[in-house]
Amino acid sequence: MKREILAVFCCLFLGMGVYSQARLAGANDPNAAAGRGQAEIVINASNADKDIAVWVNGAIAAHLPPKSREKIVVSNGRCTIEAADTSARGGQWSIGFKKQITIDADSN
């Protein structure tokens, strides 16, 4: 009985570790709306062949699978958006060359 319980716990911890590697960032709330002093940025990966990782002002903000889109709510002001294609090998993420744009976020 103790072996079975130990095996179940080991599988649960291993499963949680694999799931945490599944995305570099959790999904953003698709129903979130920009409030006062905020803006929405929509990332469209509908033409992508690989996963796309997105950083806003240096912090990972989204990780999209190919053929998807996601909305990010940011504070108004100048935002530096970076995106790179990603792939996973052996449980580790490989990040391609980052492409960067700077936008002035001041409305929806």
CATH code, domain with 73 = 2.60.40
The b/e string for 20-50 (b: 16+ C-beta within 10 A; e otherwise) is: eeebbbeebeeeeebeeebbebebebeebee
Which structure tokens are listed for 20? 């945490």
What percentage of the chain has pLDDT greater than the value 70?
77
Domain tally for the chain? 1
Residues 27-46 have a mean pLDDT of 85
Domain region containing 53: 2-105
Q: Which residues contact 107 (CB under 8 A, 6 or more apart)?
A: 39, 76
User: Which conformational region is residue 3 in: left (phi greater than 0), alpha (psi within -120 to 50 degrees), or beta?
Assistant: alpha
Residues 46-54 have a mean pLDDT of 90
Q: Which helix (H) or strand (E) holds 93?
A: strand 92-95
Q: Looking at the predicted structure, is the pLDDT value of residue 12 above 60?
A: no
- pLDDT at site 19: 42
Q: Looking at the predicted structure, is the pLDDT value of residue 17 above 50?
A: no
Q: Looking at the predicted structure, is the pLDDT value of residue 77 above 60?
A: yes
